[in-house]
Amino acid sequence: MSVARIRQSIRRAPVLILALAVLVVTAAGAFHAPAFAQEESRGWSLRDLLFPRRSERIEPPIEVQPRSKPKKKPKPRPPTEPETPIVEKTNDARVVLVVGDFLAGGLAEGLDTAFADNPAVRIVARSNGSSGFVRDDVYNWPAQIKSLIETEKPAAVIIMLGSNDRQQMKVGDVREQPRSENWTKEYERRTDALGKALQETKVPFLWVGMPAFGVSKMNSDMLAFNDIYHSAAQSHGGEFVDVWDGFVDENGAFVTTGPDINGQPVRLRSDDGINVTKAGKRKLAFYTEKPLAKILGLAAPGSITTVSAPAGAPVEAPKPAAAPIIVDRTAPMLLGDPALDGGTELLGAAQPAKADPNLPGEKLILEGKAPAASPGRADDFSWPPKPTAASQPDTTTGINQ
Residues 18 and 101 in one domain: no
Residues 151 and 269 in one domain: yes
Asked if residue 391 is part of any domain, the answer here is no
**14: preceding bond cis by omega (within 30 degrees):** no
Cα separation of 88 and 122, whole Å? 10
3-state secondary structure of 308: coil
Q: What is the pLDDT of residue 387?
A: 72
Residues 235 and 99 in one domain: yes
3-state secondary structure of 100: strand
Phi first, then psi: what are they for 100, rounded to 5°? 140, -150
Asked if residue 87 is part of any domain, the answer here is no
3-state secondary structure of 192: helix
* Number of domains composing the chain: 2
Asked if residue 255 is part of any domain, the answer here is yes
Asked if residue 45 is part of any domain, the answer here is no
Residues 105 and 26 in one domain: no
Give the domain extent around 26: 1-32
Q: What is the pLDDT of residue 6?
A: 58
* Boundary (domain end) residue, out of 296, 320, 337: 296
Residues 25 and 112 in one domain: no
Q: What is the pLDDT of residue 325?
A: 62
Rounded to the nearest 10 degrees, what angle do helices 181-201 and 216-235 cross at? 40
Q: What is the pLDDT of residue 377?
A: 75
Residues 24 and 105 in one domain: no
Asked if residue 201 is part of any domain, the answer here is yes
Say which CATH number the domain at 154 has.
3.40.50.1110
* Boundary (domain end) residue, out of 296, 313, 328: 296
Residues 148 and 275 in one domain: yes
Q: What is the pLDDT of residue 161?
A: 96
Residues 26 and 141 in one domain: no
Contact 387, 393 (CB under 8 A): no
Asked if residue 238 is part of any domain, the answer here is yes
Asked if residue 118 is part of any domain, the answer here is yes
* Boundary (domain end) residue, out of 278, 296, 314: 296
Cβ atoms within 10 Å of 124's Cβ, excluding its own: 16
Asked if residue 330 is part of any domain, the answer here is no
The CA distances from residue 209 to 104, 186, 384, in Å, are: 10, 19, 116
Residues 150 and 223 in one domain: yes
Per-residue pLDDT of the chain (401 residues; tens, 9 = 90+): 565 665 666 666 666 666 666 665 555 555 444 444 444 445 566 566 666 665 555 566 666 666 766 666 666 665 565 565 678 999 999 999 999 999 999 999 999 999 999 999 999 999 999 999 999 988 999 999 999 999 999 999 999 999 999 999 999 899 999 999 999 999 999 999 999 999 999 999 999 999 999 988 899 999 999 999 999 999 999 999 999 999 999 999 999 999 999 999 999 999 999 999 999 999 999 999 999 999 999 865 545 444 443 444 444 455 555 556 665 555 555 555 555 555 666 666 666 666 677 776 777 777 777 777 777 777 777 777 777 665 555 554 444 44
Left (φ > 0), alpha (ψ -120 to 50) or beta: where does 114 sit? alpha
Residues 116 and 252 in one domain: yes
The separation between CA 297 and the C-alpha centre of its own chain, rounded to angstroms, equals 34
Residues 21 and 141 in one domain: no
Residues 8 and 148 in one domain: no
The CA-to-CA distance between both ends of the chain, in Å, stands at 175
Contact 131, 101 (CB under 8 A): yes
